Amino acid sequence: MTSLIYGCMRIGGSWDGTPPDDDTRRAAFAALDAAWEAGYRIFDHADIYCAGNSERVFGEWLAAHPGLRSEMLLQSKCGIRLGDPVMYDFSRDHILSSVDGILERLGVERLDSLLLHRPDPLVEPEEVAAAFDELERTGKVAAFGVSNHSAMQIELLQRTLDQRLSANQMEVSLAHPDLITTGVAVNQREPDYPQRAADTVEYCRLHDITLQAWSPLAHGRYSGAGDKNAGDTNAEDNAATRMVADLARERGVSREAVVLAWIMRHPARIVPVVGSTNPERIVAAAQAGDVLISREEWYGLLQAARGSGMP
Ligand SMILES: NC(=O)c1ccc[n+]([C@@H]2O[C@H](COP(=O)([O-])OP(=O)(O)OC[C@H]3O[C@@H](n4cnc5c(N)ncnc54)[C@H](OP(=O)(O)O)[C@@H]3O)[C@@H](O)[C@H]2O)c1
């Protein structure tokens, strides 16, 4: 299954640098076992997740299953420096040392894909190019991409790079459809259609850049988490949650599958990065590839979640 990615952000326990304890390790192994069994073969990391512990625990799991490495794709990200202050850093030296740390924690010799995590306003494309050349030459990274980048930010980097940027990971969900709805906003005055990342979907489609969707379950907002706080949810949430539940019942699939299928219905073939650590939810999400959402259902869900109709 390559239609979903398993996101490892939450498997490492705390973000304060405390080494993972046995409970964290057990929970992470259970999540990764479930993901593997359900057919996830692409695993998403970042050097900062749980201060490196997500990659560390994953590395331990992989060491316990060494035969699996050749059957999976490993992606990680760099470019954010945690600390005081938090900084973004796309300098050559930071990218190179980050990749060395990632490889060491994962216990592998090569990353299948490296993404630049969030746009660094101080980026010098020549620095990125020097780092990518070195990573390609040494065989440490096979493919390159970005995350949270607009079309023009990608264009700026790409002009200087010899390597093709092949992925852009963005937040996309029913709760955060901005990447998609920004295209609807052209020539509209409605303030609730954000103009952020204008034309990024079109740019990625034109240049065969795979869009990956982070936080695709919207933390369960329409697939169960909202139910627990029914009093807190608003009318839009309730309408969208009911619609998701109805569709799931009709199709005989999980609510997670419906929420993800909404993203996957987009013709850009957006790939959700599922971040649940709950084995049942991980398996439930994997049904998404079997659900085809109609145009009517797609627009119905979008308008229910936004709480307003199309212009
Ligand atoms: N590029 C970026 O800037 C960026 C930013 C954030 C994330 N990411 C990537 O995207 C992946 C996914 O992100 P995410 O974890 O934020 O997104 P997500 O998959 O939308 O949400 C997962 C979170 O929602 C909770 N959840 C889901 N359904 C629930 C339900 N029915 N009831 C209660 N809780 C529920 C999960 O809890 P359980 O664990 O209990 O299921 C988990 O905490 C990450 O692992 C990471 O790889 C990338």
**Domain parsing of the chain, residue ranges:** 5-171
**Residue 200 has what pLDDT?**
96
pLDDT score recorded for residue 196? 74
pLDDT for 246: 97
SS3 content of the chain, % helix, strand, coil (to 5): 45, 15, 40
CATH 3.20.20.100 is right for the domain spanning 5-171: yes
**Rounded distance, CA 37 to CA 68, Å?**
12
As a whole number of angstroms, the distance between CA 24 and CA 22 comes to 5
Ligand 1 centroid, distance to 189 Cα (angstroms):
33
Q: Which of 6, 40, 49, 222 is catalytic?
A: 49
Tell me how far the alpha carbon of residue 173 lies from the centroid of ligand 1, in angstroms: 11
Q: Binning pLDDT at 50, 70 and 90, where does residue 51 land?
A: very high
pLDDT at res. 228: 56
Residue with more model confidence, 230 or 293: 293
pLDDT digits 0-9 by tens, 77-107 = 999 999 999 999 999 999 999 999 999 999 9
279 lines ligand 1 (CB under 6 A): no
Where do runs of H (alpha helix) occur along 79-158? 92-106, 125-137, 151-158
Mutational pocket test of ligand 1: of 276, 277, 278, 283, the residue with most ligand atoms within 8 Å of the beta carbon: 276
Give 17-48 pLDDT, tens digit per residue: 899 999 999 999 999 999 999 999 999 999 99
Half-sphere exposure of 160 (CA within 13 A, CB side): 14
In the predicted model, what is the mean pLDDT of residues 158-179? 97
Atom index in ligand 1 nearest the CA of residue 147 equals 1
Task: Please say if the pLDDT value at position 193 is more than 70.
Answer: no
What's the rounded mean pLDDT across residues 237-244?
Answer: 91
